[in-house]
Structure 1
Amino acid sequence: MRDLRPLFDPRSVAVLGASDDPTKWGQWIAAGALRGAHRRDVWLVNRKGGQILGREAYTSLAEIPGPPDLVVISLPESAFEQAIDDSLAAGAKAIVAITAGLGEIDDAGKAREAAVVERVRAAGAVMVGPNCLGVYDAAAELDVGSNSFTPGSIGIISQSGNLALELSLLAAEYGVGVSRFTSLGNQADIEAAELVGSYAADENTRVIGVYCEDFRDGRAFARAGAAAVAAGKQVVLLAAGGSEAGARAAASHTGALASDSAAIEAACRAAKILRVATPKELIDRALASLSSDRPRGRRVAIVGDGGGTGVVTADLVTEAGLDLPDLSDGLKSRLSEIAPTIITANPVDLAGAGEVDFWNFERVLNAVLGSGEVDSVIFTGYFGGYSEMNRDFAPKEMAVAAAIVDAAQASGRPLLTQAMYWCSAPAQVLRDGGVPVYRDIEGVVATLAHLVEQGEGFAPGVSEVGAPASPIDGDGYFESRELLAAGGVPFGAARRANSIDAARAAAVELGYPVVLKALGLLHKSDAGGVALGLADDAAVAAAATDMHVRLAPRGYSVETFVDTTGGVELIVGCRRDPRFGPLVLVGLGGVYAELLRDVRLALAPAGVDELEALLLSLRGAGILTGARGRTPVDVRAAAEAAAALSRVAAAHPEIAEIEINPLLVTPDGAAGLDARIVLA
């Protein structure tokens, strides 16, 4: 990992393009840089010189009195290359390029960026941008961007400056601030993955929030995210890329089903990154991730001081697929001993007992959290509002909040809170102690459900692709079968035939009934190029003649007929994503694969255990496991075939798409019935 200290905690900063005009970027950046002038040298550079914000401005970087660790460039694109050369000549170790109008515009701009990056790296420096909004580090008191942030513990990496600002404002509503911010810009040099690694090593950053539109090297991002999570820094990702436009252009079923969004989801699952869809969800997940406790299962208890909020919360918890278990008689007795008015069902309703004695909130929560009967607790209601009602209540309510924090920490179980007065002093005590406090119950339940799903999911880590094998010679049907069979995928017997008579002879050799396929067609079934269960020579001759007239195939494949009764047809395939590399897909298959769209993806190569778990997570998994009296099929064998295919695909970068559809899985095993390759 490169040293990013000069970027986030420089000994000196030069602002190139500093201005005294309050409407210009150069003035905003200069003002922010000067706020840290008590910690470092700050030099303002403007070709006209003069005074800027009460400071003498230098006319060039060559005039400043020492080498700048960090140079911030706020100049037009016409001056970009010269500014880079001047910065490196002055000794800059880090550059923040605000300049726009380059790689985001056209290929010529990308070429200019690439040439600049070569010079930056050759000098041993690093660059953020261009086309970025700056950098902020609370602990280092560095603020060289368009907006300031409230200091805190959430690190933000974003390709959108406005979205980063929205995230900071949402967090500030809950009294949580930003430890570090980087605007990605065009990622010409420093990319999202490198920043995630740097944030993970930052002792002041506890959660990493990322908004990304282009990962560049998605596999590297996933590895960095996995390492951050392993180090105790949860990564929460808001990712663009849900479009299915690219999938529509794919040649195979696998390509059509493996969308950009599904690729991101597969990478997040492997790395234990929490993926969200909105800025609010990112902050909701980040709040809960500030605590080290995670739910160990789906059992939830609701504790509140109002029947209505308890009922609404119970409905949401149930809809989210979480469990609301009945509490034991022993726990109910302990709750009744605290106050006889308490309703001891789940939800638990203090029913006024909190108003009688604020400490009853702590006593009830302590009893439920410590009971071992639930995996997490949702606390909802008026707590925190008493201090708003009467200032005299504040010291006691804050003391109760501190005791609730202690109870949650001692239990090792997550406690998530929704409070009408989410900004009150007692609420902030809870939050400071690692108990997230939300303004809406929907955010609480959705966050808890997401954490439960993450804990239950199979997270194998980010697989390594490895060295490529020798390129394959062809992409025909038999080449596909032979490549996959050599990799460990079972297939039935088949013979290649170049004529109708050869097809008839092959059928005799294999024994009836047989299957006849027309070669040279990508989607043979859709075109009427597959004839099943041909029982004799006459049937084979008739089918081959029909295909010859209609399709003019390159030849035929004659195959042993496999009885599909009692089996399930799956689709297993891989496509190579330009950002995340090879992806393996498993799902319900056959001719209705794209109609059903019941599939799961993983980074390839993938292991058998991971793929078996994905198959069992399909919406239609009951078909595999014996729903409605069916005989269960050999899911493990299907997973082994999928794992073998994923190894083949990972070893051959020249393959854009490869699939088996269908893969027939029966109670006794699995076998490929058709295969295809699409070369890049």
Structure 2
Amino acid sequence: MSRDLAPLFDPVSVAVVGASDDPAKYGHAIASQALRAPHRRPIHLVNRRGGTVLGQAAATSLTAIGEPVGLVVVSVPAAVYEETVEEALACGASAIVAVTAGFAETGADGLARQRAVAERVRAAGAVLVGPNCLGIADNTTELYLASDAFDLGGVALLSQSGNLALELQLSFAPHGLGFSRFVSLGNQSDVTLVDLVEDCARHEATQAIAVYAEDFGDGRAFAAAAAAAGKAVVLLSAGRGSAAARSAASHTGALTTSSDIVAAACRDAGVELVRTPREMTAVLAAVVGSRRARGRRVAVFTDGGGHGVVAADAAEAAGFDVPELGAQVQNRLAAHLWGPSALGNPVDLAGMGEQDPMSYANVVRTLLDADEVDAVLMTGYFGGYSADSGGLGGAQGSLGAAELAAADSIARAVRASPKPVVAQSMYPDAPSCQTMQAAGIPVFAAIEDAARALQAVVVMVGDVAGGAAAIDPLPEPAAPMTDTGYYATRALLAEAGVRFPASAEICDEDALRSFARGTSGPFVLKALHLLHKSDAGGVALNLADEEALVAAYRETHARLTASSYSVEEMADLGGGVELIVGVNRDPRFGPIAMVGLGGVFTEVLGDVAFALAPVSAARAEAMLRGLRCAALLDGVRGRPAVDVAAAAKAIEQITGVAAAHHDIAEFEVNPLLALPSGTLALDARAVPLVPLSPSEQALSEQALPEH
């Protein structure tokens, strides 16, 4: 159940413990900000020496205030943290913001102290942000408890970095963006990122939620909260470049990195994942609004050929189509342009702008009215006339005034259309560009930012990933696997509906001959209980008859002396496509599915896709269709098309089993042979989850939320 954070964001009163006149202390910065709105609620400053702080009488303790307090900011040395929190609770505080540091980030002892305080706060029915945080702010309730002031706007920023908030403040300004809320996450001992996302989703003044996170705590719960938010969530995630520390016991483990996991969770949850503050700004400038593109077809509109070509390349690199416009649309454009203009796409004014600046507006309106256009990407010189570039008179000159009129006409056209327009300009600060910004048209100096912004407002029709985002709950835990051997794993998957070739586990030559006489060849022989059987030379393929099978057995056993072997019917690999289906269990996000081109070249080719497991058949088919090798599924160079629906169903079955087994670290079927009719699983592996040592467990839990 979602937590009530009203006492945190709109308290009846505020007390700052550790308030100071010393500018070097954080208690000074927060107290200064808190006093910006004394008319909204009582603001109490507490300093153990008493006297005055920032010109206001300071109480020597919370008790000395003489009345209950709603929210208490704790900015005191770590040695007196516990007693300060206890006093806050005794004085009726229902919310605490703990700036004090020196807890989970210092090791196991600090973690134990942090947990004890969080448990005490929850037992009292209060909420706590921190410790080790940099404060909070809510511009909508005039709550200013951070070291800096933030411009009012529609973005709630939940961040593990204070300086990032300051950088975003600077980059937001040209786009008219501002903050509804700012929360420094700190150690998340009580109030977590998930709690805050859920509360900001309910906050009417918040139009988009921006997150900077170095650790997610319960990553799956974050994804679920973001998917259910009903408004844009934009994530800048740090530390995604390397794999989590583990010993990879399968292809899945070797190929799955932390960046893959975060990207998969974001895609499944409908979260916009960005790499830099600049990219976050570009995305937020686009999503703080209601317009969405309903497809990939982009019309590029320019007043210079070079800008048009570069913009078209950027649009295509972002996943858009830049198709040639139809004859009817070109005829409508021609009515507003002159002979040198290009009409196909990109649409190029070719100097017409100086003849008639209103031609910009006429083209935008025509493109927005065209059924074959989903969005417009405008690029080039527009803005230069009103910016007084080249001695053309600026906003007061004839061309400048005409461009301003064109900008106003473009703004009216965009307001009347459900389709988005994004612009790049050489003069993004020009008055005409600011007119467009005010109308909700993002304007950027760089074309790559404009293309990324447009990418953020696309909803792909018919794409599973483009529908309403939702994170399915994990299935109930299955009984632990007491045997994770090859045949036990096969049996578990077969029970779920996964098909395997006929086979038998044998330990001697007599059993081998018995299987061969009851089954037609060719055969496969596998040495069991080896991690990577093919790499170790433990797999013999395409054994034509009983004698070839026996010979392979004798040679393999002489080399490997495996305790047992699997003998199986050989599938016709030439009639299908080898896939890999794996599930790797991540400590933050739970089971992560990997689907891709399988067989012995899996790691070499690396053509794989990821998703939170379990994976539905519909999602699995979308993953398969998104692979680089997807054309193989439909048949190439005389090969037949395979049964993609059956492959997707098998993926659903495999990932469902894996997601239910919390005792398994890695689950893999490689290859899963997709055939013209149905599928065959040709190998399977389950790797047990190895419990962490006490020291590893303590390290893992330092950044985990308490609930």
TM class by shorter chain equals over 0.9
Which residue number corresponds to residue 401 of structure 1? 407
Equivalent residues in 2 for 1:79-94, closer than 5 Å: 79-94=80-95
C-alpha displacement at 1:3, in angstroms?
Answer: 1.2
8 Å CA contact 1:471–1:652 kept in 2: the answer is: yes
Amino acid at match of 1:638: A
Match of 1:283 in 2: 281
Question: TM-score, with normalisation over the residues of structure 2?
Answer: 0.92
Q: Alpha-carbon deviation of 1:46? A: 0.9
Distance 1:656 1:267 in 2: 18
Q: Quote the residue 1:598 is aligned against.
A: 607
| Alignment CA distance shift 1:530-1:352 (3 Å) | closer
Deviates more, 1:498-507 or 1:252-261: 498-507
Is this contact kept in 2: 1:269–1:457, CA < 8 A? no
Q: Which residue of 2 aligns with 1:439?
A: 445
Deviation string, structure 1 residues 372-410 (Cα, Å, up to 9, x no partner): 231111122333343332343677655543432221132
When structure 1 is superposed on structure 2, of 416-425 and 647-656 the one drifting more is 416-425
- Rate the CA distance shift 1:334–1:535 in 2: closer, same or farther, 3 A: closer
Query: What is the rounded CA distance, in whole Å, between the counterparts of 2:669 and 2:348 in structure 1?
Result: 55
User: Is the CA contact 1:341–1:352 (under 8 Å) kept in the aligned structure 2?
Assistant: no
* Cα separation, 2, equivalents of 1:391 and 1:492: 77
The 5-angstrom pairing of residues 473-622 of structure 1 reads: 473-622=482-631
Q: Secondary structure at the match of 1:539?
A: helix
Work out the CA distance in 1 between the residues paired with 2:244 and 2:640: 38
Which region of structure 1 is more displaced relative to structure 2, 658-667 or 145-154? 145-154
Question: One-letter code of the match for 1:557?
Answer: S
C-alpha separation between the residues in 2 aligned to 1:591 and 1:397? 62
Provide Cα deviations, 1:619-656, integer angstroms capped at 9, x if missing partner: 11112222333221112111111100111112111111
1:192–1:215 Cα contact (<8 Å) kept:
yes
User: Shift of residue 356 of structure 1?
Assistant: 4.4
SS at match of 1:246: coil
Q: CA deviation at 1:310?
A: 2.2
Q: Is the contact made by 1:97 and 1:129 (CA closer than 8 Å) also made in structure 2? A: yes
- Whether the 8 Å CA contact 1:341–1:351 is kept in 2: the answer is no
Instruction: For 1:113 and 1:581, locate their aligned partners in 2 and report how far apart those are by CA, in whole Å.
Output: 25
Letter in 2 for 1:307: G
For structure 1, which segment, 600-609 or 512-521, has the greater mean C-alpha deviation from structure 2 after superposition? 512-521
Unmatched runs of 5 consecutive residues or more in structure 1: none
The residue aligned with 2:430 is 424
Which residue in the other structure is 1:652 paired with? Answer: 661
CA contact (8 A) 2:526 2:540 kept: yes
Count of residue pairs brought into register by the alignment: 677
1:663 to 646, 669, 672: 672
State the one-letter code of the partner of 1:554: S
**Comparing 97-106 with 165-174, which one deviates more in the overlay?**
165-174
C-alpha deviation, 1:326, in angstroms: 2.4
| Structure 1 residue 679 displacement after superposition | 1.1
**Structure 2 counterpart of 1:122, which letter?**
A
Question: Do the aligned residues in 1 keep the contact of 2:342 with 2:350 (CA within 8 Å)?
Answer: no
Task: Report the counterpart of residue 136 of structure 2 in structure 1.
Answer: 135
SS in 2 for 1:641: helix
Query: What code does the residue aligned with 2:375 have?
Result: S
Displacement of 1:566 after TM fit? 2.1
Written as runs of structure 1 = structure 2, the 5 A alignment for 1:23-62 is 23-62=24-63
Q: Pick from 627, 637, 661 the counterpart of residue 636 of structure 2.
A: 627
Distance 2:381 2:152 in 1: 28
- Shift in CA distance, 354/11, structure 1 to aligned 2, threshold 3 Å: farther
Find out whether 1:69 has 2:75 as its counterpart: no
**What secondary structure sits across from 2:575 in the alignment?**
coil
Post-superposition Cα deviations, 1:598-633, rounded to whole Å, max 9, x if no partner, equal 111111111111101101110111122223332211
Question: Is the 2:523–2:541 Cα contact (8 Å) retained in structure 1?
Answer: yes
Q: Which residue does the alignment assign to 1:195? A: 196
Aligned to 1:392: 396
CA RMSD of aligned residues (A): 2.0
Measure the CA separation in 2 of the matches of 1:132 and 1:553: 56
Given residue 364 of structure 1, which amino acid in structure 2 is its aligned partner?
V
TM superposition shift of 1:421: 2.6
Pick one of 310, 327, 330 that aligns with 1:329.
327
Identify the match of residue 256 of structure 2 among 241, 255, 258: 258
Q: Quick one: distance in 2 between partners of 1:413 and 1:446?
A: 16
Shift of 1:273: 0.8
Q: What TM-score, normalized to structure 1?
A: 0.95
Q: Are residues 521 and 243 of structure 1, via their aligned partners in 2, closer, same or farther at CA, if it must alter by over 3 Å?
A: same
1:296 counterpart letter in structure 2:
R
Q: Partners of 2:191 and 2:561 in 1: how far apart?
A: 54
**Alpha-carbon distance in structure 2 between the residues aligned to 1:358 and 1:32:** 47
The one-letter amino acid of 1:417's match is: A
Does structure 1 residue 469 correspond to structure 2 residue 478? yes
CA distance in 1, matches of 2:76, 2:15: 13
1:144 corresponds to:
145
Q: Aligned equivalents of 1:122 and 1:239: distance in 2?
A: 32
* C-alpha contact (below 8 Å) 2:228/2:470 kept by paired residues: no
Aligned to 1:347: 346
- Match of 1:591, SS? coil
Q: Quote how far apart the aligned CAs of 1:456 are.
A: 6.7
User: Gaps (5+ residues) in structure 2?
Assistant: 389-393, 690-707
Q: 1:261 to 1:532 in 2, by over 3 A?
A: same
State how far apart, in whole Å, the 1-side matches of 2:607 and 2:68 are: 59
Task: Name the counterpart of 2:361.
Answer: 362
